Structure 1
Amino acid sequence: MTDTAQQPRPCWSDRLELGEGVRWFDGRLVLVDILAGRLLQAPDDGGAVPGAALREVLRLPVPLGAVAPLADRPGWWVAAAGTGICLLSPDGVLDWLARPEDATPLPTRMNDGVADPHGRFWAGSMAYDATEDAGSLYRVGPDGSVTRVLDGITVPNGPAFTADGTVMYLADSARGVIRRYSVDAFSGALGTPEPFATIGHGAPDGMAVDRNGSLWVAVWGAGAVHRYREDGTLDRVVPVPAAQPAGVCLGGPDGRTLFVTSARVGLDEPGPLDGAVFALPVDTPGPPASSFRRAEAA
């Protein structure tokens, strides 16, 4: 089950504090350094260039959990940032749709997020100190409305969607569990959660679904990435030469490159590859990452 035939290779010279939110959009690899508020893009076509560095697209004055591009508005993004959801202009101006975490009794921030195949944006929140049950999951509709759809989560990561958008996977990292939800295509309403996988060593973090419906999971604290079949069976473990893998996506020109981000935050003695971004060829491609489709009348 453990695959040591091919090891993920470090791609660029950067060592990120908390690299997450990695996505392949329109032939480019995009990711964030959460606590530094940085939106980053890989050089060239996302391929590894020895000694090259990631390009900083934007730097925000608040933490930046994840972004998705706005359909038909080049250079614009929807972002899980600070205490809420905002639109980002090409020059970095923040247009807040909502800041629901301003009202929480604990210091909290937005965490991972993604657009689903129907054009909605989803993002989680968490307490800075990972207080139990302090996190939530929000859904952003095409009209720009921000709705809390789940609460009682400690550290939400993902979500990740199947190619048709009818299934969502969500990790509660602090509890080591991944749950699966059905998703109503029209309304975005979630069905009853089903247990999908439990991780005993390390914590499930960022996730991505391939075209066969298998789920790739970065396992924080375990130095590994797992792949699960649709039935929840663990069928592949890929060692990563960094202690804290944090995010994954499938991309590259043919969708058959697994990109893995990692983090240095919290490590007393980070190793030389902690915080690096890695790449590994895989057999099954992933679907294109989705954009946020906002209605013109919103």
Structure 2
Amino acid sequence: MTTDADPVWSAWPGERFELGEGLRYWQHRLLFVDILSGRLFELPDDADHAPRMVAELPEPLGAVAPLAGGGWIAAAGTGVGVLGDDGRLRWIARPEEGAAFRMRMNDAVADPHGRFWAGSMAYDGAPGAGSLYRLDADGSLHRALEGLTVPNGPAFSADGATMYLADSARGVIHRYAVDEDTGELGGPTEFATLSSGSPDGMTVDAEGFLWSAVWGAGRVCRFAPDGTLDRVVPVPAVQPTSVCLTGDRLVVTSARIGLDDPGDSDGAVLSTPLDQLGVPACVATVAGG
């Protein structure tokens, strides 16, 4: 295991976000969300200009994935919908509407087969209140897992046969086999458990290693396919939330929420030079999308 010594970070100027999350790299575009304000942003190529707002919803926006044919699939509010290029959201399903706890969607991603996976959580972090949902190509939504607290990710291997999912409040990343034809999940195996901080947003690089932002610990961790901790990159923000690899830099979102005395980098979108190929965001394929 190696720890990067004093990486040089730069921050995009402008706003510091309450809960920046959901970095996605697609067609040379870098996008992310500020969850609680319901906003989607695009990052400029350089760090001299502030992020540009792409859309704003009247409810939380957990994450988006590019949609075949244009627009985005969004995990928002209490469900999932299609976010058009005009910024309007058309609901597909709201599975958490009327739940026993006040719920919202959290992190979400498309897999290599075009399915969309989205986690939900209670606003108050009630243990076990969250679920993981799978949106299939025919537009049907299924509860794939339940009993989660704060689901983050998921992230997928290049062939889509393996899914990694963090239950952040419990400090653990699980690994699941994924049926290629149906999307059904096998039983969980414990991939990695953190002794400090919480695993948050994740991505798999071109070598099949898993990267995870570590909330509360100011670092990003890289894990080998067998779960061994391979690399630690210190981050100048206490609460890094998601991670993205562009091929020549590591980009990280962070959050200010809950900090009594946030520093200048808390809530910033940060980048540092890094020669590591990532994998572009997968595209969701949904009938009628």
- Pairwise CA distance, 1:5: 4.5
Q: What is the CA–CA distance in structure 2 between the aligned matches of 1:238 and 1:25, rounded to whole Å?
A: 24
Q: Secondary structure at the match of 1:119?
A: coil
Note the 1:161-240 alignment, pairs <5 A: 161-240=156-235
Letter paired with 1:259: V
The runs of 5 or more residues in structure 1 that have no matched partner are none
Aligned to 1:12: 13
- Pairwise CA distance, 1:92: 2.0
Aligned to 1:57: 54
Aligned to 2:4: 3
89-98 vs 173-182, which deviates more? 89-98
Aligned to 1:292: 284
Aligned to 2:254: 262
Aligned to 2:64: 67
- Pairwise CA distance, 1:197: 0.3
- Pairwise CA distance, 1:286: 1.1
Verify the 8 A CA contact 2:66 2:281 in the aligned structure 1.
Answer: no
Letter paired with 1:16: F
Letter paired with 2:152: N
| C-alpha RMSD of the superposition | 1.2
Note the 1:26-37 alignment, pairs <5 A: 26-37=27-38
1:153 aligns with 2:152: no
Instruction: Report the number of matched residues.
Output: 288
Q: What is the CA–CA distance in structure 2 between the aligned matches of 1:78 and 1:197, rounded to whole Å?
A: 29
Verify the 8 A CA contact 2:174 2:192 in the aligned structure 1.
Answer: yes
- Pairwise CA distance, 1:33: 0.2
The percent identity for this pair of structures is: 60
Q: What is the CA–CA distance in structure 2 between the aligned matches of 1:150 and 1:271, rounded to whole Å?
A: 37
The two structures have a TM-score, normalised by structure 1, of 0.94
Misfit runs of 4+, over 4 Å = none
1:91 aligns with 2:86: yes
The two structures have a TM-score, normalised by structure 2, of 0.97
Aligned to 1:113: 108
Q: What is the CA–CA distance in structure 1 between the aligned matches of 2:146 and 2:118, rounded to whole Å?
A: 12
| CA deviation string 1:253-291 (max 9, x = no partner) | xx3422100000111111111001111233330122111
| CA deviation string 1:127-157 (max 9, x = no partner) | 0010000000000111111111000001000
Verify the 8 A CA contact 2:12 2:51 in the aligned structure 1.
Answer: no
Verify the 8 A CA contact 2:7 2:234 in the aligned structure 1.
Answer: no
